[in-house]
Amino acid sequence: MMCVAWLLMSNMADRVLLSVLGVGVSLYALRVEVRRENDPQYRAVCDFSDRFSCSKALCSPYGKGFGIVRLLVGKDHFLNQRNCTVGILFYLSQIVLAFLPNQVLCSYILYYTSVIAGLGCVYLAFILFFVLRDICIVCIGTYVINAVLIYLNYNLYLSKHPGP
């Protein structure tokens, strides 16, 4: 009973729920990409027009390896993974780290990995709006989830590492 009360009185539940939502959004993005690869005529639910299309963004050259990895190691290299696959791994790691016993160390990892993910979101948002000239609600959803995770992880970090 004490464990349940602790869970509901911390930001842990929020972080876990957001991470589960992030996994769900990333799995949907993966589904869209795979379906579109197998059927170029496939129209996803999130494709509203040519300028408001998640397929356009997710299936662009920037949808794998942030558009950078292919330039460094080649298009077919195993490091050139879909961004949504990286997202799934990120969100799953956020969930696992929430339950590990060393919360001081985990708060460092949670915060700094979420900041790195946030920087990736800023880069991808720039690409989305100014290079692809598109609006992708799936992408924007992950940006919002990551921004809130940064906030929650920062609060956890501050609670575990009080200032001088």
**Residues 77-133 pLDDT 10s:** 999 999 999 999 999 999 999 999 898 999 999 999 999 999 999 999 999 999 999
pLDDT of 137 > 70? The answer is yes
Question: Is 6 within a domain?
Answer: no
Question: Is 57 within a domain?
Answer: yes
Residue 94: give its domain's CATH number: 1.20.1440.130
Question: Is 3 within a domain?
Answer: no
Both tokens assigned to 156: 């956890």
Q: Counting Cβ atoms within 10 Å, is residue 2 exposed (0-12), middle (13-18) or buried (19+)?
A: exposed
Q: What is the pTM of this model?
A: 0.89
Question: Is 152 within a domain?
Answer: yes
SS3 3: helix
Both tokens assigned to 75: 């298009």
Residue 133, Ramachandran bin (φ over 0: left; ψ between -120 and 50: alpha; else beta)? left
Four-residue CA torsion sign, 40, 41, 42, 45: positive
Question: Is 4 within a domain?
Answer: no
> Lowest mean pLDDT: which of 66-70, 87-91, 159-163?
159-163
**Residues 10-50 pLDDT 10s:** 678 899 999 999 999 999 999 999 999 999 999 999 999 98
Question: Is 5 within a domain?
Answer: no
- Whole-angstrom CA distances from 90 to 11, 69, 145, 164 are 18, 18, 12, 31
Structural domain for 136, as ranges = 16-160
Domain count within the chain: 1
Report d(CA 57, CA 68) in Å as an integer: 15
